[in-house]
Amino acid sequence: MAPLVEHLAALGLRHTAEHLDDLVALATKRRWSPTQLLEHLVETEQQERTRRSLERRLARSRLGRFTPMSDFDWAWPKRLDRAAVEAVLRLDFLTDARNVVLVAAQGLGKTMIAQNIAHAAVLAGTHVLFTTAAQLLLDLGSQESTRALARRLNHYATRTLLVIDEVGYLSYDARAADLLFQVVTRRYEKRSLVLTTNLPFSDWPTIFPNAGSAIALIDRLVHHAEIITIEGDSYRRRVAEAKRKPPRPVSEG
């Protein structure tokens, strides 16, 4: 059946081509009619294409490994609007091209929440890109020509959902602020952005000192945004301290 396999592959029916012998054996065993055979072929091809599409979106999202929300300790933060977090995890903000800004000190789960938002969007069929502020600005700043920079800006502007993690951990020059402003401006009221930061907006001038675009950047970022603030002590620090504590002696009485 080599010629048939080649024709099926040429038509894009790769799963059927790869499993043709098994398909013929199954159809013979179950005595399928031509209609039943075609229905099975269409169903399996659709399932396989859906699986491959999900794998491609996950790979292109650069999301990597992350902790699911089922492991999130909702009781640990001193302040967190759980309803707001669950709302953004339902992805309602994508419909209106709204942004989500997660503001919290280190170790309170803002990156974890952002990763789960990104993963939910990928599962929903959305094209997502997850990156840190440092990676994004290093990439844009390293472009050697105006044309190359335009291509990279378009790359970040056209993903349906862009997630920028860790804004505020490093300081950047005015050019970096202008580049981030361009990304936000190109997405403004067109596509959603999820951003995490460890600093309130009043402290953002410390991230981009001497950058005239900093105020305009904040203005466009928060104009259509869900701002979720998390307050409390570092969860990672709690875990580390718990591991360092010696076990209690076992009572013999």
- Domains along the sequence of the chain with CATH: 2-60 (no CATH), 69-239 (3.40.50.300)
What would you report as the CA-atom Rg of the chain, rounded to the nearest whole angstrom? 24
The residue type found at 207 is I
Single-letter code of the amino acid located at 16: T
What are the tokens at 96?
């209106």
Residue 240: pLDDT over 80 = no
- Residue 190: band (very low, low, confident or very high) from pLDDT cuts 50, 70, 90: very high
Which of 68, 103, 78, 69 lies closest to 225, judged by CA?
103
Closest Cα partner for 88 from 155, 163, 159? 163
pLDDT in tens, 142-185: 999 999 999 999 999 999 999 999 998 888 888 888 999 999 99
Which pLDDT belongs to residue 246?
57
| pLDDT averaged over every residue in the chain | 90
Does the pLDDT value for residue 238 go beyond 90? Answer: no
Rounded average pLDDT over 108-119: 97
The CB density around residue 184, as the number of other CB atoms within 10 Å, is 23
Contact 137, 176 (CB under 8 A): yes
In this prediction, residue 207 carries a pLDDT of 86
**Is residue 138 over pLDDT 90?**
yes
Q: Is residue 176 within 8 Å of residue 184, measured between CB atoms? A: no
Mean pLDDT of 111-139: 97
Least confident of 15-19, 57-61, 207-211: 207-211
Q: How far apart are CA 185 and CA 148, in angstroms?
A: 18
Whether the pLDDT of residue 244 is over 70: the answer is no
Q: What is the mean pLDDT of residues 107-113?
A: 95
Residue range 230-248: mean pLDDT, rounded: 68
Which pLDDT band, with edges at 50, 70 and 90, does 253 fall under? very low
The answer on pLDDT for 239 being more than 70 is no
- Tokens describing residue 106: 């280190």
